[in-house]
Amino acid sequence: MSTNQPHPRVLAVLEEPTFPFDRNLHVKPLEAPVVPEPDRWGEDPAGCGACDRADDTYLWTDDSWRLSAANGQPLTGVVILESRAHYDSFADLPDDLTSSFGPVLARVERAVLASGDVGRVHLHRWGDGGAHFHVWFIPRPLGRMQMRGSNLPVWLDVLDDPGEAAHADAWARTAAVLAATGGTSHVEPMGSAPH
Ligand SMILES: [Zn+2]
């Protein structure tokens, strides 16, 4: 096999219809592990930006959860659900939050589905960037079959951001649908820019 020819496994990835790039890519060599790992954003609760945020900077809040607009994304309606209190991951959540997590996920998904032309809502949990518990809801635009599956976050990295004004209606709809079944919307009615 030519050294310029991708490994068949890599070629399969490159030719996947949902992969955002063409074939002129090369796989990076793996770097050495870094142990212990470096701190993430908000590792110390005393200096955590999520803990410090006021409710009115969120789209919606209740006693346990807060929903944030994900600014700077190229798809409209992307939101992040955070625990109100500082916990790291599922392993750290108290029982009352693990019990309410499923119902609030369903509510947020319904709200995002109602926010515009959404084909499906993708739920993502990483935790490698920030240490305050959060999950992403990424609405795949209706009919955008290239964006199906796990490459959707990669598309977020390569498409152009249409600007915050383009997101306002989607976020306002999401907050309003959530607030209809509990909690508080912090967004003005549709047509006004959210915080
Ligand atoms: Zn925090």
Burial class (CB in 10 A: 0-12, 13-18, 19+), 144: middle
Give the residue carrying structure tokens 């009615």.
Answer: 189
Ligand 1 (ion): which residues have CB within 5 A?
48, 50-51, 86, 132
User: What confidence score (pLDDT) does residue 8 get?
Assistant: 86
User: Which CATH number is 13's domain given?
Assistant: 3.30.428.10
User: What confidence score (pLDDT) does residue 129 get?
Assistant: 94
- Report yes or no: 50 and 134 within 8 Å, Cβ to Cβ: yes
- Report yes or no: 176 and 185 within 8 Å, Cβ to Cβ: yes
25 within domain boundaries: yes
Mean local confidence (pLDDT), 129-148: 97
Average predicted confidence (pLDDT) for the chain: 92
Span from the CA of 162 to the centroid of ligand 1 (angstroms) = 29
Looking at the 3D structure of the chain, how many domains does it have? Answer: 1
Share of the chain above pLDDT 70, in %: 94
The band of 193, judged by pLDDT with boundaries at 50, 70 and 90, is very low
User: What confidence score (pLDDT) does residue 151 get?
Assistant: 93
Span from the CA of 173 to the centroid of ligand 1 (angstroms) = 27
The band of 113, judged by pLDDT with boundaries at 50, 70 and 90, is very high
User: What confidence score (pLDDT) does residue 192 get?
Assistant: 45
- In the DSSP assignment, the letter for residue 184 is E
pLDDT in tens, 22-48: 888 888 999 999 999 999 999 999 999
68 backbone dihedrals φ, ψ, rounded to 5°: -105, 145
Span from the CA of 28 to the centroid of ligand 1 (angstroms) = 34
- Report yes or no: 193 and 57 within 8 Å, Cβ to Cβ: no
71 backbone dihedrals φ, ψ, rounded to 5°: -70, 155
175 within domain boundaries: yes
- Report yes or no: 147 and 155 within 8 Å, Cβ to Cβ: yes
1 within domain boundaries: no
User: What confidence score (pLDDT) does residue 3 get?
Assistant: 58
- In the DSSP assignment, the letter for residue 60 is E
User: What confidence score (pLDDT) does residue 189 get?
Assistant: 64
**DSSP string covering 15-30:** T-TT-SS-S---PPPP
Q: pTM of this prediction?
A: 0.90
Nearest to 172 by CA among 188, 151, 156: 188
192 within domain boundaries: no
CA distance 174 to 182: 13
The band of 190, judged by pLDDT with boundaries at 50, 70 and 90, is low
Burial class (CB in 10 A: 0-12, 13-18, 19+), 120: middle
Span from the CA of 90 to the centroid of ligand 1 (angstroms) = 14
Quote the domain boundaries for residue 20: 8-185
